[in-house]
Structure 1
Amino acid sequence: MSFVESEERIALRRAVAEFGAGYGHEYFDAKARSGQKTTELWEEAGKLGYLGVAVPEEYGGGGGGIGDLAAVCEELAAAGCPLLLMVVSPAICATVIARFGTDEQKAKWLPGFADGTLKMAFAITEPDAGSNAHKLKTTVRRDGDEWVLKGAKTYISGVDEADAVLVVAIQRTGPVLVVVPTAAEGLTRHEIDMDLIAPEKQFTLFFDDVRLPSDAVVGSPDQGLQQVFAGLNPERIMGASMATGTARLAVAKAVAYARQRTVWESPIGAHQGISHPLAKVHVEVELARLMTQKAAALYDSGRDRDAGEAANMAKYAAGEAVAAAVDQAIQTHGGNGLTREYGLASMLATSRLSRIAPVSREMILNFVAQNSLKLPRSY
């Protein structure tokens, strides 16, 4: 087993890092604070093929795996441009359609994922279900040649930017995944007022007997449960990658400041009260990166069950690492850490979110306790 990425993956990282540096945190922060979207960044990333690295070649993609897409996500975040919709659109939605979609669905959707001209949101969370996917109430039923969707979803990212939403709904035989155009009649959305500084907005969605064509359900209706898990593992891997990229950026800012900030005729980084905490978070970030790469390698090799365990562990480790890294970076800067000039305070809420979404640290610990350690369930 190799613990070193391939030369192709390393070259991809370098190229994306250089590309992301051309935009940087100041660009991203300015867009987010003004309520604008990072459209230029997304479109150029799509044209360069970075958004489609994991889409099969026959549909215009790079033919790589989730590990390649995760590398792109991480490097953009490390450059100060964490693209949340990368976690959703090319990772979850494109992966599900590529693995389970009909030939017609693949031909319809995958080329747009490959070049970034298509954005698709993902909707599973419901107001009354939370992390309990067994209590989903959004339903879909057959009515002649159509499907009829009814229910609600909440905390759905980027719906105002998306062309469609991949919705997890329930029918008689279990869950199914349904592609719903954002312009569909009967679909309404309400923006959730968040204190996050991010270009992507959060929404509650309402489906009031939304009528959809027969090909709206992805693949076979009896494969819904497999499709959900096929999408959630990439979601956790990508969430971990975005977190470790953000953590790397925070550590880099702190290290640069600790090298140049001089007090009592020596850089503050010479003092162990500064250097040891930074060294500790650096270790934690690198460990989280390694587990994320392991999860991606397992997923790309088709070992879904093992990938599920590793992806959850990676998501946990990355969430803890980024929260600690941003906190320590602010502490290293002292009062400067809370100014806009140094760009750290705006990362605080985002880093904290990594311990909550797309799955909370507590639910990951439940998963590890029950599946890895074979401990009894409490619920």
Structure 2
Amino acid sequence: MSNAYTESEERQELRKAVSRLAGTYGREYFTEKARSGGKTTDLWLDIAKNGYLGINVPEEYGGGGGGIGDVAAVCEELAAQGCPLLLMVVSPAICGTIIVRYGTEAQKQRWLPGICDGTGTMAFAITEPDAGTNTHNITTNARRDGDTWVLNGRKIWISGVDEAENVLVVARAHDARTGKVKPVLFVVPTDADGFEAHVIPMEIVSPEKQFQVFLDDVRLPADAVVGDENGGLVQLFAGLNPERIMAAAFSLGLARYALARATAYAKERTVFQSPIGAHQAIAHPLAESHIEIEMARLMNAKAAALLDSGDETGAGEAANIAKYAAAEAAVHAVDRAVQTHGGNGISQEYGMAGLLVAARAGRIAPVSREMILNYVAMHSLGLPKSY
């Protein structure tokens, strides 16, 4: 039984199953892979084998037939066990959602099974060096050449290109009918001629790398276009609400992991004859984090429920609020966890400080907290547009 405040038994069981699976790997596995330059492919394929990776994709394409709330639960529980996988946000949630909604039957058959079984992971490329939040400034160009398309441009901050078989690239094409440029979505194989990716050195402790991508006369067949080439921004934006919900789940899992570690330490560490958790200077900040996490989880559940019910407008506001609240909760929880551990908080042995950059990134990506505040000011409060 479920109501507005309680998840269905199926969702609760899903969480437990993912938590158990991720727990057999754990944070030590994740950080060992990150520090050695290894990959979490074993975990990725294990998630897929158990049917959790493409749980939001229809069953006829190898998925679980669930919704965004299900795949968000998977993402959150992985992170809560110390294994936050950024490609969960990208491959099944953004790319999977767009292809399910706008791909042809042939495209769905071609790309979705690989997204679900982990063998055809798909990255997503929208951000450019001179076009971050302002997607209207994208300059990656797509031009027709007979029956093919030719892509030229640069992308930056593209996650997991080295683990992806394809990249869903947002480019701009000239519209002969209107004379204007229009956004068009292309699936580009990572082994295509003219496709180059260079890793960006990062301070974050993660096996998943960030890349700068160069597209130099990359030639694609006509069926590389996902959706209607005149479909405009609506097709692109179909992936953005799922992206925010997943980013919130990612942050929430991180926050829960940090809080659980801090709480366990506060119960065991004894100074002045009693556990440090008995002191309000330690207990209250951790209690505050629990409150912040639970509020953000509730808003993310609302966002997922609205999106799965087809209410895009309501989901847009809730997803933005959830993403904002979850990122703030994660930053606070990780900072408090480091402080609770004292000197141990900045040692590699305890692994708390390694979470700082990952948590902080949630305030920046995939959309900055400032742009969410702009969105809420304009759409929720009706204030004039500021940008």
TM-score (norm 2): 0.97
Return the match for 2:194 from 186, 192, 196.
Answer: 186
- The residue type equivalent to 1:87 in the other structure is V
Matched residue count? 379
For residues 35-114 of structure 1, the aligned pairs below 5 Å read 35-114=37-116
What residue is the counterpart of 1:196 in the other structure? Answer: 204
Unaligned runs of 5+ in 1: none
1:269 match = 277
Segments of 4+ moved more than 4 angstroms: none
Contact 1:259 1:267 in 2 (8 A): yes
1:172 CA displacement: 2.5
Instruction: Letter of the 1:10 partner, please give it.
Output: Q
Q: Deviations over 1:43-94 (max 9, x none)?
A: 1111111101111011111100010000000000000101110100011001
Letter of the structure 1 residue corresponding to residue 235 of structure 2 = Q
Q: How does 1:116-155 map to 2 (within 5 A)?
A: 116-155=118-157
Asked if the contact 1:59–1:107 (Cα under 8 Å) also holds between the matched residues in 2, the reply is yes
Determine if the alignment matches structure 1 residue 252 to structure 2 residue 260. yes
Partner amino acid, structure 2, of 1:6: S
1:378 Cα deviation after fit: 2.1
**Contact 1:261 / 1:268 at 8 angstroms: preserved in 2?**
yes
State yes or no: 1:309 paired with 2:311: no
**Mapping of 1:209-248 within 5 angstroms?**
209-248=217-256
**Does structure 2 conserve the Cα–Cα contact (< 8 Å) formed by 1:55 and 1:63?**
yes
> Once the two structures are superposed, what CA deviation does each residue of 1:30-54 show, in whole Å capped at 9, x if it has no partner?
0001111001000111111110111
Q: Give the Cα–Cα distance (whole angstroms) in 2 for the partners of residues 111 and 156 of structure 1.
A: 22
Cα distance per residue 1:229-266 (max 9 Å; x no partner):
11111111101101000100000000001111111111
Alignment of 1:312-351 (within 5 A): 312-351=320-359
Distance 2:4 2:382 in 1: 29
| 8 Å contact from structure 2 (residues 374, 386) kept in 1 | no
Is the Cα contact below 8 Å between 2:227 and 2:235 reproduced in 1? Answer: no
The CA deviation at 1:377 is 1.6
Question: What one-letter code is carried by the residue in structure 2 that aligns with 1:230?
Answer: A
| Displacement of 1:201 | 0.8
Q: Matched residues, percent identical?
A: 65
Q: CA deviation at 1:145?
A: 0.6
> Which residue does 2:368 correspond to in 1?
360
CA distance in 2 between counterparts of 1:74 and 1:25 reads: 14
Post-superposition shift, 1:2? Answer: 1.4
Structure 2 gaps of 5+ residues are 176-181
Deviations along 1:114-162, whole A, 9 cap, x unmatched? 2111111000001011110111111112111101111111010010111
- Deviation digits for residues 88-115 of structure 1 (CA, Å, limit 9, x no counterpart): 0011001100010000000101111121
Structure 1 residue 224, shift from structure 2 partner = 3.7
Q: Match for residue 284 of structure 1? A: 292
The alignment's C-alpha RMSD in Å is 0.9
